[in-house]
């Protein structure tokens, strides 16, 4: 009876540890959420709306998508050990911008996929200087949410519902 109770205790403890919070899993979850919203937004916006901007002093919708793609490619490729510079900010066609955005997400998928709790605090070189791996990747999430927020307002001005506000099935 004591052995059965001990085995049950070890089994329960193991199950609880398997569900323990993880900074790498939480980062991946946040990244996946903003990645999905930005990708859906880029695909949803009509081609003729990519040139829209509410005032002359801000980027167009296409300019924001290009900026996101270039920033992500630069940071995530640095996290992956081979810094690359994007050119999506110069593009204006929807197809080219969506392709660049998806390519930047492929690079970020590798970076987030390689993030573990064990390597999260490793120091790496990024376009913004020396940072921890987690800090650089959290910057991707923060920046993505910031840019998505701008773009969502632009969409509302064009009577388009942003993906994050669409009814859930």
pLDDT digits (tens, 9 = 90+) for 84-99: 999 999 999 999 999 9
In a domain, 14, yes or no: no
Within 8 A by CB and 6+ apart from 47, the residues are: 93, 94
Q: In terms of C-beta distances under 8 Å and separation of at least 24 residues, what long-range contacts does 17-26 make, across chains too?
A: 22/117, 23/117, 23/120, 23/134, 24/115, 24/116, 24/117, 24/120, 24/134
CATH number at residue 81: 1.20.120.450
pTM: 0.85
- Asked if the structure places residue 86 within a domain, the reply is yes
Domain that holds residue 70: 22-163
Whether residue 7 is contained in a domain is answered as: no
For residues 79 and 138, give the distance between their C-alpha atoms in angstroms, rounded to a whole number.
12
pLDDT digits (tens, 9 = 90+) for 105-149: 999 999 999 999 999 999 998 878 899 999 999 999 999 999 999
């Amino acid at each position: 009876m004591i052995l059965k109770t001990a085995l049950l205790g070890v089994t329960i403890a193991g199950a609880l540890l398997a569900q323990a919070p993880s900074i790498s899993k939480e980062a991946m979850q946040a990244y996946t959420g903003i990645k999905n919203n930005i990708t859906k937004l880029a695909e949803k916006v009509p081609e003729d709306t990519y040139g829209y901007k509410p005032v002359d002093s801000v980027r167009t919708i296409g300019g924001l998508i290009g900026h996101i793609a270039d920033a992500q490619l630069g940071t995530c490729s640095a996290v992956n050990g081979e810094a690359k510079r994007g050119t999506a900010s110069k593009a204006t066609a929807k197809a080219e911008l969506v392709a660049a955005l998806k390519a930047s997400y492929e690079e970020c998928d590798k970076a987030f996929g390689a993030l573990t709790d064990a390597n999260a605090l490793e120091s790496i070189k990024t376009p913004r200087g020396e940072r921890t791996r987690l800090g650089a990747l959290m910057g991707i999430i923060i920046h993505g949410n910031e840019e998505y927020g701008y773009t969502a307002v632009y969409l509302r001005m064009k009577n388009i519902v942003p993906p994050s506000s669409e009814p859930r099935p």
